[in-house]
Amino acid sequence: MIDIHSHIMSGIDDGARSLEESLLLLKKMSAIGISHIVATPHYIVGSHYILNNQQKLEKLEKMRNLVKQENIPLYLYLGNEIFMDPSILALIKKNEIAPINGSRYILIELPVSRPMNEMMEFLFYFRSKDFVPIIAHPERYVYLQENHELIEKFLKMGCLFQGNFSNILEKYGAHAKKLFLYMLKNNQYHFLATDIHHEDDILFKKMKKVKKEIIKLTSKEKFQELTYDNPLKVLKNENIEIKYGEN
Ligand SMILES: [Fe+2]
């Protein structure tokens, strides 16, 4: 699997707390079948969790060296989970914010309970600049749980959706799980990812069950598309055709 959403980089957000925890996370991720990981530390404009791309790449290089030393079969890449803000595009140009592996794909986090008035406008603007927003864990947003038509609007605009595996385990509550199942059934996801923060995450013990259940709800081919084929296209900056409404 290729994981496009993770908090494996230490000392930058609420993810891994030390390089030791990063290493443990990487070992455990490799053990559950992940071969490529994009480190996507939170980028929230105005917060103290901020490093520029050069600083993040230096941290990534340290992790790559560790992986090599420890013989863990993993490839590591850089990205950010970017909280929606009008200044994102300028910050990408200034090398403060990292699109996934330098591609046109950007992982976007939206406010959980209230859509911003300007949200659609921003997303539309990104699309006009040829960036492709990947909306992280849409199942957690209350306004999408309550209004499925809004999901279609995002798709028609050219946004892609990334779901979190752990919804199967109801990690984010019953409403999030319900929307996760709805979006899976309606073929509205393009990626599934771990959004892993810590080495004691329940996903490490339950990944087999999670995979089995998702395949039961969709198909082996769909699982492969969501966890490998589409993520690989992102890493290679290739086009992803948006299909939805059929399974
Ligand atoms: Fe995240």
pLDDT at 116: 67
pLDDT tens digits for range 43-60? 999 887 789 999 999 999
Pairs from 111-118 (Cβ < 8 Å, separation ≥ 24)? 111/84, 111/141, 112/140, 112/141, 112/142, 113/141, 113/142, 113/143, 114/142, 114/143, 115/141, 115/143, 115/150, 116/84, 118/86
pLDDT at 247: 47
The residue with greater pLDDT, 220 or 130, is 220
pLDDT at 132: 96
pLDDT band at 245 (very low <50, low <70, confident <90, very high): low
Whole-number Å distance, alpha carbon 7 to ligand 1 midpoint, is 6
Helix residue ranges per DSSP H, the chain: 19-31, 53-69, 88-93, 119-128, 142-146, 148-157, 174-185, 203-217, 220-224, 230-235
The model's pTM:
0.95
pLDDT tens digits for range 75-103? 999 999 999 988 999 999 999 999 999 99
Once rounded to an integer, what is the mean pLDDT over residues 13-30?
Answer: 95
Domain coordinates in residue numbering, the chain:
2-235
In terms of Cα–Cα distance, which of 136, 131, 112, 110 is closest to 193?
A: 136
CATH class of 2-235: alpha beta
Whole-number Å distance, alpha carbon 109 to ligand 1 midpoint, is 8
Once rounded to an integer, what is the mean pLDDT over residues 67-74?
Answer: 97
Whole-number Å distance, alpha carbon 195 to ligand 1 midpoint, is 5
Once rounded to an integer, what is the mean pLDDT over residues 124-128?
Answer: 87
pLDDT at 235: 98
The mean pLDDT of the chain is 94
Once rounded to an integer, what is the mean pLDDT over residues 167-196?
Answer: 97
Whole-number Å distance, alpha carbon 80 to ligand 1 midpoint, is 9
